Amino acid sequence: MSRARYTADSNRQRVPLRLAVPVWVLLGASLFSGCATTEADRAERTLADEWGVEIESVRLTAAEYMIDFRYKVLDAEKALPILDRTIKPHLIVERTGVKLQVPISAKLGPLRQATTTPIDGRIYFTFFANPSRHVVVGDTVTVVVGDFVVENLTVY
């Protein structure tokens, strides 16, 4: 019985190497045209430079009644405003314009991770309510936390 080797795909999931697409196919003509950076790469670098975070995922959870937004802190000082509990985050469904809030539990409080001292390399989360299942897999959303706005995030 042979062991399968693994590589990470764009969704941060591990897939067998034999199923992964070769790098030269993904890069295609962009290598030859001298334009190896994409719009998404530039946006990700700007997000890391300005806010000190990297988006990990936006996924449906809890039988599709919640949206799980996860991000990694790269620079704790820059990421402080995003983790501030006094700022109320919301999510906008781009297809319909519906604005979804962070649910507040009587015992737990808002369902989001926040701290006064973020740690570099740690992944933080925020849950958004999806009461009528406004968001479905494949939708694009915008996450807003004060001045921090990230558009065109695809929900998985």
61-114 pLDDT, tens digit per residue, is 999 999 999 999 999 999 999 999 899 999 999 999 999 999 998 988 899 987
For the chain, state the CA radius of gyration: 18
Whether 35 contacts 16, CB under 8 Å: no
The answer to pTM > 0.85 is: no
56-154 CATH, one of 2.40.128, 1.20.1070, 3.40.50, 2.60.40: 2.60.40
Question: What's the number of CA atoms in the CB half-sphere (13 Å) around residue 154?
Answer: 5
What are the two backbone dihedrals, phi and then psi, of residue 74, each rounded to the nearest 5 degrees?
-100, -35
Q: Which residue has the higher pLDDT, 30 or 43?
A: 43
Cβ atoms < 10 Å from Cβ of 99:
13
User: What residue has token string 């494949």?
Assistant: 138
